[in-house]
Amino acid sequence: MNWRELQNKNITLIGGAVSGGLDSCTSTHWLTSKGFDVTGGTVDLGQPDEENIGAIADRMRGCGAVDAFIVPAHEALADAGLKVIQAQARYEGGYWNTTGIARPVTVQALLQEFETRDIPVLFHGATGRGNDQVRFQIATNMLRPDMDVYAPWRDPEFVAEFPGRQQMLEYCEKHDLPIKPASESRYSTDANFLGLTHEAGDLEDVTVSPFFVEPGMGVWAWDAPDTPQSVTVRWEEGEPKSIDGETGSVAELFEKANTVAGAHGLGIGLHTVENRFVGIKSRGIYEAPGMELLGQTYDLLLQFVLDRRARQLFDQLSAFISNQIYQGYWLDLGTTAALSALEPINRLVTGTVTVRLYKGNLSFETAEDTPEAMPHSLYTDDSSMEALGSYDHADAEGFLKVLEVSARNVGSRQYPQLGR
């Protein structure tokens, strides 16, 4: 879809999912110049890189928007982030999906506001080569099937005028738009209180060290304190309840975890060259200190709770949910069913874990292993080398005799031919 098609439908009102960054400023002014009445919508996700979230609305008005608003979504993002942790949904093994999970939260919050303003079109500044265009599109289609989605980066006229970030910077400077100076825009950052995603610009060159990036949620590991810190996290029925005895809502505990973990470089500067949904690779530098602290302590408790078969099921669900989030399908039947399948496991995750943070690393220290503190743990003295428990060593004799039947058959009939 291009802007002329919208005008041919007699559409003049258009609402943007705007962050106040380079793409938002450029597309807002450009659409205004084409005759659209642009409303800029920003969802307050506790962006660490915004000292004053309200300034984004002022910035959008300065770029030509007829109106701009800020809508809060801290609790919604915290709830979604907790589900990511409960699923251990790391994309391709490392990235905590902090941007991917924020997109449906953002769209849902914006569409509720757009509906009250009778805005029929949502536009966004996501590139036509990335994942976010898919996430915005699919979330909007599922929540408001009647709403059009316009992406400037997929409009041939827009792309012809702005083939890259440099042209956008020059455009903004030419029209005196309120953006950060070009010298501060060596890369692009997407932010929410779950994590920061740094991409594009100089980060696309893998021959360049990424350490020119200034962490926004902590410090690089080598700049962390030389003294380790022990941190205790209490979980009850799959939800965090306290960090070092300090209680609060899930959103508040995320903020606490960010502060504690970020100070020690945990989850700061994760580097990955990943497979985008559209089939190309990208390089990202990620920060997610609170997700790393809460996520790893949750995983430690899962080790006490899951038996062998439940672990196999959990790992399959985890991989599925991670891909669903990354590809934009957070709201569909598959994700809904997979999350429901995790609910019985979540109810069993109760316990108190103490870990040690040091120079970007987290190490397990202790768990309060009592029936009261960890009532659903399967860790018992049955495996102890110090006490007999309820498991008699002699009982394993029959078990091994059953196993040896197939093993002997392999040894006599197959192994000699395997060439190993």
Q: Is 356 a catalytic residue?
A: no
Contact 264, 220 (CB under 8 A): no
Contact 255, 46 (CB under 8 A): yes
Contact 43, 109 (CB under 8 A): yes
Contact 14, 37 (CB under 8 A): yes
Q: Is 58 a catalytic residue?
A: no
**Could you say which DSSP state residue 91 is in?**
B
Catalytic residue among 19, 24, 44, 132: 132
Q: Is 146 a catalytic residue?
A: no
For residue 393 the two structure tokens come to 């060593």
Catalytic residue among 19, 23, 24, 44: 23
Using CB atoms within 10 Å of the CB of residue 116, give its burial: 0 to 12 exposed, 13 to 18 middle, 19+ buried: exposed
Q: DSSP of 201-264, one letter per residue?
A: GGGG-TTS-GGGS--SSS--GGGS-SS-EEEEEEEETTEEEEETTEE--HHHHHHHHHHHHHHT
**How many residues are recorded in the chain?**
420
Beta bridge partners of 195: 192
For residue 284, give Cα distances in angstroms to 51, 153, 197, 270, 392. 24, 20, 7, 8, 52
Contact 84, 288 (CB under 8 A): no
Burial code of 341-364, b = ≥16 C-beta within 10 A, e = fewer? bbeebbebbbbbbbbebbebebee
Catalytic residue among 61, 67, 79, 188: 188
Rounded Cα–Cα distance for residues 153 and 297 (Å): 40
- Cα–chain-centroid distance for residue 127? 19
User: Which residues, 6 or more positions from 184, have their beta carbon under 8 angstroms from its beta carbon?
Assistant: none
Catalytic residue among 59, 103, 135, 144: 103
Instruction: Count the Cβ atoms, other than its own, within 10 Å of residue 340.
Output: 9
Using CB atoms within 10 Å of the CB of residue 164, give its burial: 0 to 12 exposed, 13 to 18 middle, 19+ buried: exposed
For residue 36, give Cα distances in angstroms to 28, 121, 167, 306. 9, 11, 22, 55
Rounded Cα–Cα distance for residues 29 and 62 (Å): 9
Q: Is 103 a catalytic residue?
A: yes
Catalytic (active-site) positions: 23, 103, 132, 188
